[in-house]
């Protein structure tokens, strides 16, 4: 499976405590590229970096894009600096 686009939203976290893969998150030292590969393998639509010195989380596997975009719209700018939400479009 490949993706069409990845869109980054700064200071945004959605679906808190609803991690689809690895409930406790992934090591903070993983690169964005490594996490994109893991997200694609698991068909996750949301990739969260919880801060500049924080873990990665995969979410959104079973949600429609319209719902995820609404959640992003409601939460953008509400998280601390360094938190990034990546929306992966397949």
Q: Which tens digit of pLDDT belongs to each residue from 52-63? A: 999 999 999 999
Residue 50 has pLDDT above 90, yes or no: yes
Residue 47: is its pLDDT beyond 80? yes
Neighbours of 59 (CB within 10 A): 24
Q: Residue 23, exposed/middle/buried by CB under 10 A (0-12, 13-18, 19+)?
A: exposed
Q: What is the pLDDT of residue 68?
A: 98
pLDDT at 39: 96
Unique residue bearing structure tokens 């694609």: 40
60 contacts 20 by C-beta, under 8 angstroms = yes
- Global pTM reads 0.94
Q: Report, as an integer, the average pLDDT of 47-75.
A: 97
Count Cα atoms within 13 angstroms, Cβ side, for 40: 14
**What average pLDDT does this structure show over 22-33?**
95
Q: Which residues, including other chains, have CB under 8 Å from residue 23's CB and lie 6 or more apart? A: none
With a cut of 90, say whether residue 3 has pLDDT above it.
no
């Amino acid at each position: 499976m490949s993706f069409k686009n990845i869109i980054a939203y700064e200071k945004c976290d959605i679906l808190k405590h609803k991690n689809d893969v690895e409930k406790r998150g992934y090591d903070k030292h993983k690169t964005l590229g490594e996490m994109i590969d893991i997200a694609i393998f698991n068909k996750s639509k949301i990739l969260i970096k919880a801060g500049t010195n924080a873990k990665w989380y995969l979410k959104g596997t079973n949600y429609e894009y319209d719902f995820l975009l609404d959640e992003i719209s409601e939460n953008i700018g509400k998280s601390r600096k360094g938190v990034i939400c990546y929306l992966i479009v397949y």
